[in-house]
């Protein structure tokens, strides 16, 4: 019989801890460490290819990315990347070491108890970095705005004439004169930081808009944009984070991957429903919940959504029309029963993912 070799790797920036299980043997046949560099890759590949029989390798996704997966795959080795949040965990096991983690991964790979992530190609990973970097700048912009408002509040200044960060707000901010020696310096630095972050956000938006017009992305972005609340940025987030939606066999699978399905804790005759699992992609989850708020009020086809839907295939328009009616009705019914609007938005976002999945079966990148 052909022997299968199971190799688990505990991946870190400085070193790799490797455990090798041979066939059905209980104890590792080999345990060793390698430096995470070119020489380490050569030794790891040479070791794996020296084994007689089929070799299967696994490591957990983490901050080191997918470079190891790509190197080993290029060397014609079978490598998979496990989702760390779904790796089985024993609560009573209180000793954790790199060696034990590597052996655990190899054992779980052999018993088929791991859930694997789909590794994006380099182009999609680069696009994902662009979209996530834009999100990071948006958070930084919100942060500096909070700092400015709270700084002014400490000196007794509060804007009460409408919404902040409008032209009128900046006019009011320019009239404020702080009498203290260093207060004006701090405020001016904050305003400069705000300006820099606004300009940086605009540059990222330009790059994302340009990427969305590429032939390989344009049709997919346009198809997703027929849905209310899904614009260019949201569509590019879905594209970069999820890729081809045809890899999900059903809409509930995609909902689970995003982490918007309810958790449950049942024992005996007692069933306890819990909030959503939040075990999936947080970036996509944020996008769909934000988009769900567009279904809160009466549906009206304004100029923006009309422009997005113009010239699209009838199948896509049918999905969008059904989505409008169903999600608006669901939002209304849930809030009418006394549910908080935030809870309703999450529930509507979950169903919105189903319509996104349906479009992904018709149009794909």
Which two structure tokens, joined as six digits, stand for 114?
A: 């791991």
What's the mean pLDDT in 249-264? 92
Does residue 176 surpass a pLDDT of 80?
A: yes
Across residues 72-95, what is the average pLDDT? 92
Closest Cα to residue 31, out of 116, 115, 109, 104? 104
Residue 1 has pLDDT above 70, yes or no: no
- Residue 280 tokens read as 């999936």
Confidence of residue 94 (pLDDT cuts 50, 70, 90): confident
212 band by pLDDT with thresholds 50, 70 and 90: very high
Residue 274: predicted pLDDT: 84
Domain 4-110 has CATH 3.30.420.140: yes
pLDDT for the residue numbered 21: 96
Whether 156 shows a pLDDT value over 70: the answer reads: yes
**pLDDT band, very low/low/confident/very high, at 30 (cuts 50, 70, 90):** very high
Res 280 pLDDT > 90? no
Place of tokens 């024993």: 90
Look at residue 18 and give its three-state secondary structure: strand
pLDDT of residue 14: 94
On average, the pLDDT of the chain sits at: 94
Provide the 3-class DSSP secondary structure of residue 11: strand
Q: Are strands 15-22 and 30-35 parallel, antiparallel or unpaired?
A: antiparallel
What pLDDT score does 271 carry? 81
Q: Compute CA 18 distance to the chain's CA centroid, rounded to the nearest angstrom.
A: 29
Structure tokens, 211? 């990427």
pLDDT, one tens digit per residue, over 226-245 is: 999 999 999 999 999 999 99
Does residue 191 have a pLDDT over 70?
yes
The tokens describing 46, both together, are 């040479």
Name the token pair of 242.
């999820």
Average pLDDT over residues 208-215: 96
Give pLDDT tens digits for 300-357. Answer: 889 999 999 999 999 999 999 999 999 999 999 999 999 999 999 999 999 999 999 9
Q: Is 83 a residue whose pLDDT tops 80?
A: yes
Residues pairing with 291 in the sheet? none
Confidence check: pLDDT of 2 > 90: no
Least confident stretch, 142-151, 211-220, 277-286: 277-286
Q: In what order do the strands lie in the sheet with 78-82?
A: 30-35, 15-22, 4-11, 54-60, 78-82
Average the pLDDT over 128-149 and give the result.
Answer: 97
User: 268 or 310: which carries more pLDDT confidence?
Assistant: 310
pLDDT computed for residue 227 by the predictor: 97
Only one residue has tokens 């190197």, namely 71
- pTM for the model stands at 0.90
- Helix residue ranges per DSSP H, 93-180: 98-110, 122-154, 167-174
As beta bridge partners, residue 21 has 6
Domain ranges of the chain: 4-110, 122-212, 217-362
State the pLDDT at residue 112. 95
Average pLDDT for 20-38 = 95
By C-alpha distance, which of 135, 290, 131, 129 is closest to 197? 135
Containing 233, the helix (H) or strand (E) segment is helix 232-242
Q: Evaluate if residue 363 carries a pLDDT over 90.
A: yes
**What band does 89 get if pLDDT is binned at 50, 70 and 90?**
confident
């Amino acid at each position: 019989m052909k022997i299968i070799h199971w190799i688990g790797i505990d991946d870190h920036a400085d070193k790799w801890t490797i455990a090798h299980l041979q066939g059905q043997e209980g104890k590792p046949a080999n345990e060793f460490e390698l430096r995470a560099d070119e020489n380490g890759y050569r030794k790891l590949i040479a070791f794996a290819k020296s084994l007689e029989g089929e070799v299967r390798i696994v490591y957990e996704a983490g901050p080191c990315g997918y470079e190891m997966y790509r190197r080993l795959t290029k060397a014609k080795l079978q490598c998979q990347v496990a989702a760390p949040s779904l790796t089985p965990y024993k609560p009573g096991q209180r000793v954790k070491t790199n060696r034990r983690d590597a052996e655990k991964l190899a054992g779980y790979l052999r018993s088929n108890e791991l859930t694997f992530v789909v590794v994006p190609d380099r182009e999609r990973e680069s696009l994902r970095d662009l979209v996530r970097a834009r999100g990071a700048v948006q958070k930084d912009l919100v942060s500096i705005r909070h700092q400015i408002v709270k700084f002014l509040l400490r000196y007794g200044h509060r804007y009460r004439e409408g919404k902040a960060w409008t032209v009128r707000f900046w006019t009011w901010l320019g009239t404020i004169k702080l009498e203290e020696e260093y207060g004006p310096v701090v405020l001016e630095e904050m305003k400069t930081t705000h300006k820099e972050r606004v300009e940086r956000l605009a540059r990222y938006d330009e790059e994302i808009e340009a990427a969305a017009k590429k032939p390989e992305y344009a049709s997919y972005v346009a198809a997703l944009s027929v849905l209310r609340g899904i614009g260019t940025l949201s569509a590019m987030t879905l594209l970069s984070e999820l890729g081809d939606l045809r890899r999900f066999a059903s809409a509930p699978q995609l909902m689970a991957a995003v982490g918007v399905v309810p958790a449950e804790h049942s024992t005996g005759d007692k069933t306890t429903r819990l909030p959503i699992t939040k075990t999936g992609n947080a970036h996509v989850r944020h996008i769909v919940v934000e988009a769900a708020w567009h279904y809160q009020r009466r549906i009206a086809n304004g100029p923006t959504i009309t422009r997005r839907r113009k010239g699209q295939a009838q199948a896509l328009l049918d999905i969008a029309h059904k989505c409008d009616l169903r999600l608006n009705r669901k939002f209304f019914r849930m809030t009418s029963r006394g549910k908080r609007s935030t809870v309703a938005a999450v529930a509507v976002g979950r169903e919105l993912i189903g319509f996104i999945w349906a479009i992904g079966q018709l149009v794909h990148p």
